[in-house]
Amino acid sequence: MVEKPETSTIYRKGFGLKEEVQAELAGDYRSLLVEEIRSRGNVLSAGDFTIHLAKEFGFCYGVERAVDYAYETRKRFPDRSIFLTTELIHNPRVNNCLREMGIGFLNGPGPKDKPIQEITSRDAVIIAAFGTRVDEMELLKQKGCILVDATCGSVVLVWKRVEQYARDGFTAVVHGNYRHEETRATVSRVTPFPGGKSLVVWDKPEAAQVCDYIKGQGGREAFLKQFSVKCSPGFDPDRDLQRVGVANQTTMLSSESLEIGRMLEAAVMERYGPEEAPKHFRNFDTICSATQDRQDAIMELIRGRVDLVIVIGGFNSSNTGHLCEMASQHVPAYHIDEASCILSDKQIRHKPAGRQATVVTEGWLPSGRVKIGITAGASTPNRVIGDAMERILQARGQSLEALGLSR
């Protein structure tokens, strides 16, 4: 007799233990300083300098839910080994807290980590907010383990769109980073559909190359070389660029995503003409509202004429990087991941927009009257933001105690 594989139990709504984990979450991530500044209209004046907090910053609804589920899972299954498919979110503080709670990572190098193949029915696995690939999900389902699915609803919406494209015979062209967990999970959605194809474009120059090909102006070899790791296996640009549907990683720069959508639409119009174009092109803006709100808020901050901007968040956080990119087009902008990046009132360690490595910049904090704008990516806890603000105050010789503020 052939044994039936075990099937995992999947939880998608938490365990109703929100109240029980509140104190722990507050202890790890809350900042009274941030709450105080919020209550003062997002402004803090101290001597001759002022801090302006963006209207929207920090934890988004998807991240709050994922972090909450992770803590609830630990509480609900105290005796099980628990693993994350990947970083729960892109923030080092959060991932360290989870490790300290005894949560390991699949395929990671840590002592509590485990290869996915070795997961058993006695384990629990938490799927990160970015979601996971179709093949990985199938494998986990067969393990018979507890599966806690913290995939953000906004990511699931993108998946539905991409699945529809594949079902209807359109190649999903995804504006995103092909290495990012979310984009890898998104493009995998086409794989269950016969002939389903995907292509990831990172920026406008890459989109222009796709447009040229659609218009019959591109070279096949050059195309395949450029996109070799960014397209589905067996991708044939002559066949697979005849019908394209555009989507994007939820955390991209929304203006760039919209522009890329328009570029591809124009290319399809030129190739097939306005009457036939709808049979060859579909588009849907899948930037999530939390990303959009934070991008709108940074522009509002800049219009308020701040002298510089500090952007706080993990260096591998896509949405944090884009906030820095937007700000740096108008004022000096410094992307830091922790308060310790503020080395002194003279030096700051930060990751410049569009670069991989951090650098140390001298003279970041002007003397005299100065307005500092502060924002943070969707995966940055208030505690990290509060610590960074305290460090900035210290750099100007101020202390929370003297200002009557709490930590």
Per CB under 6 A, residues contacting ligand SF4 are 60-63, 129, 152, 154-155, 250-251, 288, 290-291, 319, 378
Closer to ligand SF4 at the Cβ: 126 or 392? 126
Token pair of 276 as six digits:
């036939």
Q: Shortest approach of ligand SF4 to residue 161 CB, angstroms? A: 13
Closer to ligand SF4 at the Cβ: 57 or 281? 57
Token pair of 242 as six digits:
């005849």
Within a 13 Å sphere around the CA of 362, how many CA atoms are in the beta-carbon half?
0
Q: Which residue is nearest to ligand SF4 (CB)?
A: 62
Contact 367, 304 (CB under 8 A): no
Contact 130, 155 (CB under 8 A): yes
Pairing of strands 347-350, 359-362: antiparallel
Q: Shortest approach of ligand SF4 to residue 217 CB, angstroms? A: 35
CB-count burial class (<10 Å; 0-12, 13-18, 19+) for 100: exposed
Q: Shortest approach of ligand SF4 to residue 225 CB, angstroms? A: 32
Token pair of 26 as six digits:
């507050």
What's the CA gap between 343 and 346, in Å, rounded?
8
**Residue carrying structure tokens 């093949």:** 135
Catalytic amino acids? 182
Closer to ligand SF4 at the Cβ: 34 or 290? 290
Beta bridge partners of 50: 45, 371
Q: Shortest approach of ligand SF4 to residue 181 CB, angstroms? A: 11
What's the CA gap between 328 and 332, in Å, rounded?
6
What are the helix and strand counts (H, E) for the chain?
15, 16
φ and ψ at residue 83, rounded to 5 degrees: -130, 150
Q: How far apart are the first and last CA of the chain?
A: 64
Contact 246, 176 (CB under 8 A): no
φ and ψ at residue 279, rounded to 5 degrees: -80, -10
Closer to ligand SF4 at the Cβ: 180 or 243? 180
Closer to ligand SF4 at the Cβ: 155 or 392? 155
Using alpha carbons, list the distances in angstroms from residue 75 to 86, 120, 235, 247, 350.
Answer: 20, 20, 46, 37, 36
Closer to ligand SF4 at the Cβ: 125 or 288? 288
Q: Shortest approach of ligand SF4 to residue 63 CB, angstroms? A: 5
Closer to ligand SF4 at the Cβ: 46 or 156? 156
Q: Shortest approach of ligand SF4 to residue 325 CB, angstroms? A: 16
Pairing of strands 43-46, 49-53: antiparallel
Q: Shortest approach of ligand SF4 to residue 293 CB, angstroms? A: 10
Closer to ligand SF4 at the Cβ: 155 or 348? 155
What's the CA gap between 260 and 214, in Å, rounded?
14
Q: Shortest approach of ligand SF4 to residue 230 CB, angstroms? A: 21
Q: How many residues does the chain have?
A: 407
